[in-house]
Each structure stands twice: as C-alpha cells, then as structure tokens.
Structure 1
C-alpha cells in the first residue's frame, strides 16, 4: 500500500480546497490547547472581539479628547480611524478638528488640506462660483482621500490657512451633512475646553475617548476632565466615556499596573497603548511598522467603544 493510501485510511482523503485531511485542523488545535490552554482562550477572545467589531462598529460619532498637549490624542485617533477604515472602508471618516493639526500630520494629510473645499461644497462656508453645493459620496471620497490604504480624512493644513471648525456653530452645522455619507466618524477634538468646537463635539458624540499618559499629573487631569464632561453634558460616564493610556516612555510600567492605576483614578474602562517606536516617531503613522501588541490594544480600545455604542446613540 502506498504512503498516500495509508494516510487516507488513517485520516480520510485530503480536502481539495486546503490539501489537508479533515481531522488535521482540529488535531492541531487540540495539540495547541494541550500545550498552552491560554492560547485557546486568547483565540476565542480575539474571535469574539472581531465579531463585536464587525457587528457593532458600523455607525457612531466618536470623539477623542486629550486635556493636555503631547498625551497621544492624535495618535489614538489615527489608530482608531485606521481600524474603522479597515472595517467600513469609505463609509468611515477621520476628522481633524484640532487647530494644531495633529491628525493631519499623523495621517499624512496632503498640502493645503481637504477641509476648505469640502466645507464650501457642503454649504457651510460661502461657496465659490461653479462649486457644487450638493456633492455626492463619490466627489467627497475623491476630495478626502489622502493615501490609498489609509482612512478618509477631513482636515485643514495648519501651515496653509485657518483651521476648520474655529467658528462657533460650524461643527454642529457640518456634522449632520457628514453623517449622511459617513455613518462612522472619528474626531480628533481640540485640547481642553477653549475651542468652541470642543463643546459642540463632546455634546453630540456617541462616545468620548479621553487620552492621557500614566504619570500622576496626567491622571489628575483625566479625573478632572471626566468630571467636566459629566457636568457639561449632563450624562453619566457609564457607557459613554472610556480612557486610553498611552505609554510614551520606553521604560514604562506594565500595562496591567498602568491600567489599575488609571482605573482607580478615572473609574471608566481603560485600555493601555504600549510604548511603540512607530508611535514615538513624529510625522505620518507607518501602519506596517506598528507592533502586533500595539495593534491588539488598539483593537481592544475599538471593541470597548463598540460595546458602548450598543447602548445607543445620544439624542
């Protein structure tokens, strides 16, 4: 009897699609689970997370807010925007509402930005002659594309003119027009409460992700900032606010210790983004250089937001 016949008698004929015997995958999984039971639990958790993201992260208005500069707010926005774009393609949009232009730089915005023409075309600002007043999704997608693989981006160029949403009421007027074509929005919110856009964004957002670092000073800012959000919006933090702690130091503590410390300070769901050289670099975020653990934590943050969105949007 040939070796192939002996194998087929032992395991059954190989699948034409995979070339493997039907029992091989389950055997490999059983061996893997026997060697390390944690592997099976982790794979099961990843599968549940993927199902949650695919099923729930379909629509929503997500605001990312840092209360002090250099805490990683634009970086967290870029990570969430990339995950949303991978899930929803051209129906997800990243918005840079911060005059500093952090998200513009993180996502590699093109010179001149994309906001000026779009706001004119949407009728938010006085349009130029010949400018379409009611653009369609195809026109918007063409205007908002900055890279072939990255998320669509609405942003001004900080070096080429006034930032978008610096006028009172401008963001509130733009939001419903954007959501007509982009059901999933991730917004980099201006730092603190000085900008008129900050109030308009956090009061209309379905979920707010506050961002800080693990040092005590930043945690104190987060605690006070969450209190301000609760008082200003008149809604509980439960299910509406989560926290991303960005480890900006190479010698930072363990993620578990940072998460415990942050949770004790802010009392909302906390996800730690580990130190990553790709995140520490200035300029556009090179997704292919982002570490696997960083991607896992970013997806965990997205899943935390998706879980909160199941409660329903703010009306």
Structure 2
C-alpha cells in the first residue's frame, strides 16, 4: 500500500487487479437489497468464488517454518442429509402485510420513509480512516446473536463500497456460516493466525476467506466440529492483522462472560449486545450494561442494544423493556419477530420483512456512528 495515500483506494485497486482485467460488476439488483435507499458502487467482493484466489499457499507451522502442514479439507456447513429438510424459505411478512405496505407507498408517509432510509444509509456509509471492529455478543446462546451478526454483515456489505468482513469468534458450533449462506468452510481463525504476515496483500488474504453471495467475506471460527475453543491470543492475532484490510469487521463473539467475548467487547470500536425480549433477558442485559460502564474507557458510550423478539406471541411490553435498557444512556433498536429469520437456515435478504430490514439498517447506522466516534 502506498505511504500516506488513501488506504481504501489501495485495497480497491488490489481487488480490481485480481479480477484478470474483468470489469467490475454494476450496482446490484435492488430486489436483493436490505432496504431501498441509494447504493454506492460495489467492489470485487461480490464476484463469484472462481474469480478469487482458489489455491492459497499452504500454511507453515509457526514452530518450524521448514515443515509444510497439510491444508484443511472443505467441510459442508450443513450435512447434505439434513439440507434436504430445510424446506422452502418463507417471507418475513405475510401476504396481507405486504399488500398493506404496497398501498401505503401511495400515501404521503412514503416520502418520509424514503427520507429516513436515506439518512440511515448515509450513516452506514460513513468513511473511516482505519478499520473498525464491531463486536456482537449476548448473555446466553439461542437469542439471535449470530442472526444479528449476519444481518449487520449483510447490511454493511450492501451499503459500503469498501471491503467488509464478518468474523466468527464463537467456536461452540456456531451458526454464523449457515446464516451467511456459506455452503462449506475450510480455513478457520486458528489456521489464518499461523499464516498472516505484514507482507500479504488483500488478494492473498481473501484466498483463505469464504466469499459471501451478497458481497464481502466470512471467516469462520472452525469447521463445525466439537474441539478446542477459540482462544484469546488467536482472536487478538487475527483481528489486529485483518484490520488493515477491511473497513468494517463484524465479530460474532461467544456469549458473556467468556474470555474471548470479554476481550472482544473491551477492544472493539463499537459493541452490540443482543437481548431477548423476555424479563430475565432484559434483566441480565442490564447487568452487562452496568459492567460496561465500569470499564476504564467509555465502553458504554459505544454500545447499542438489539432487543430481539423471537416469538410472535411475546407478552412483554417492548416499550417498557427498551426504556429500562436505555436508562444507562444506551440506544435500543427493536428487531421485530420475522418469520423468515425464525425459520432458521441461510438468510435471504429479499425474503426479510420490511420492518426487519429497516431495523437492521438502523442498528448498523447506530453501531457505525459509535465505531467512528471511537478513535
């Protein structure tokens, strides 16, 4: 990269050079967008996997650089015997709700919605001088942490023109690769930690990553097998090295109070705490916010809460719950129940409910605003 130049432009040039003189694709079809505000030109991140480096060098163990280690085998994210049981994805909104929304577009309120979406898109697209890390965690598993991470990764991939990475830092059989639509995984955080060197270019690094269908890249924590958890040293090595290549890195952390989760929350530029819309979930998340307020730096000022409704029949008052979490001064974004997300499996952005799309952009905009604020 050039000294004193525009680091983002340098990265884009590296990507363009790797496409074998193939013109960059035009703006994506809006039908696959998360919301419908103006979109900037995309990078080579959205090209097919065949256009990316397919034969990266085999890693060498750090203890003996003369010995070549075997490359890991690709492993499907979902067992082929189970994949046939996924069924057809359903839309997040019912037919009646989609019809009602279409009629609303003819009213005066439609202009206000477009203006709000445009404002949020501009916040998501804020320029950065160095790579920003946004860590996502929760107080327990099964509340939608990986789903929120996938939504954020897809939102940043859609709106930003610079490289975006979604990184899994939860080796406890995490679901991020499935939610991001990856059919198979190969290289993990631990593998990449042994390979990364300062001399590597972006096109070298992306040879070890999983290209995401909607653009951007994914780095899984493992290959979906029970094994040694991701350790703090590996996490630090990978995130510090990859910051120079990606404008935004969304990290799907393990649940609190895990060591990696606490490290990620302490070192990230912005934090997203996913809270289930239950009384015990709200109470536990408030305790996390109180802990963040005691950290030596202003962690609470760069934190956002995603209040997730995982059931259509929840009886908890969302307004009162959000007010309780806002008391320490933290913004709360409510993610409504969405039939497509509740179905599990890969997230298809075109199938998300409109309220879910809008909430995803609002959450990304709020997190990005805080990530840019932290120097």
**TM-score, normalised relative to structure 2:** 0.64
Q: 2:280 aligns with which of 192, 210, 217?
A: 217
Cα offsets for 1:57-100 (capped at 9, x unmatched):
78421000111111111100000000111133561101100122
Correspondence 1:262 to 2:334: no
Q: Which moved more, 1:111-120 or 1:294-303?
A: 111-120
Correspondence 1:54 to 2:119: no
Give the equivalent residue in structure 1 for 2:314: 252
Correspondence 1:120 to 2:194: yes
CA distance in structure 2 between the partners assigned to 1:206 and 1:222 by the alignment: 19
Correspondence 1:289 to 2:351: yes
Give the equivalent residue in structure 2 for 1:147: 212
Correspondence 1:137 to 2:202: yes
CA distance in structure 1 between the partners assigned to 2:299 and 2:194 by the alignment: 36
Give the equivalent residue in structure 2 for 1:106: 179
Q: How has the CA–CA distance of structure 1 residues 41 and 111 changed in structure 2, closer, same or farther, with 3 Å as cutoff?
A: closer
Give the equivalent residue in structure 1 for 2:262: 199
Gaps of 5+ in 2: 1-102
Q: Which moved more, 1:268-277 or 1:56-65?
A: 56-65
TM-aligned CA deviation for residue 310 of structure 1: 3.9
Cα offsets for 1:214-265 (capped at 9, x unmatched):
1110000100111122224542523x111001110022369xx514422323
The alignment's C-alpha RMSD in Å is: 2.7
Gaps of 5+ in 1: 1-31, 124-132
Q: Which moved more, 1:90-99 or 1:67-76?
A: 90-99
Give the equivalent residue in structure 1 for 2:78: none
CA distance in structure 2 between the partners assigned to 1:208 and 1:233 by the alignment: 15
Q: How has the CA–CA distance of structure 1 residues 263 and 161 changed in structure 2, closer, same or farther, with 3 Å as cutoff?
A: same
CA distance in structure 1 between the partners assigned to 2:179 and 2:341 by the alignment: 9
Q: Secondary structure at the match of 2:152?
A: helix
Q: Secondary structure at the match of 1:185?
A: strand
Q: Secondary structure at the match of 2:294?
A: helix
Cα offsets for 1:245-292 (capped at 9, x unmatched):
1110022369xx514422323431011111111111222222232122
Structure with a larger share of its residues in helix: 1
TM-aligned CA deviation for residue 113 of structure 1: 4.5
Aligned residues: 267
CA distance in structure 1 between the partners assigned to 2:332 and 2:278 by the alignment: 15
CA distance in structure 2 between the partners assigned to 1:299 and 1:307 by the alignment: 12
Matching of residues 1-315 of structure 1 within 5 Å: 36-56=107-127, 59-88=131-160, 91-100=163-172, 101-109=174-182, 110-122=184-196, 134-160=199-225, 162=227, 166-194=230-258, 196-235=259-298, 237-238=300-301, 240-252=302-314, 257-267=317-327, 268-313=330-375
CA distance in structure 2 between the partners assigned to 1:168 and 1:157 by the alignment: 15
CA distance in structure 1 between the partners assigned to 2:228 and 2:249 by the alignment: 18
Q: Which moved more, 1:209-218 or 1:146-155?
A: 146-155
Give the equivalent residue in structure 1 for 2:33: none
Q: How has the CA–CA distance of structure 1 residues 233 and 190 changed in structure 2, closer, same or farther, with 3 Å as cutoff?
A: farther
Cα offsets for 1:21-41 (capped at 9, x unmatched):
xxxxxxxxxxx99x8443332
CA distance in structure 1 between the partners assigned to 2:346 and 2:128 by the alignment: 25
CA distance in structure 2 between the partners assigned to 1:169 and 1:182 by the alignment: 20
- Structure number, greater radius of gyration: 1
CA distance in structure 1 between the partners assigned to 2:360 and 2:281 by the alignment: 20
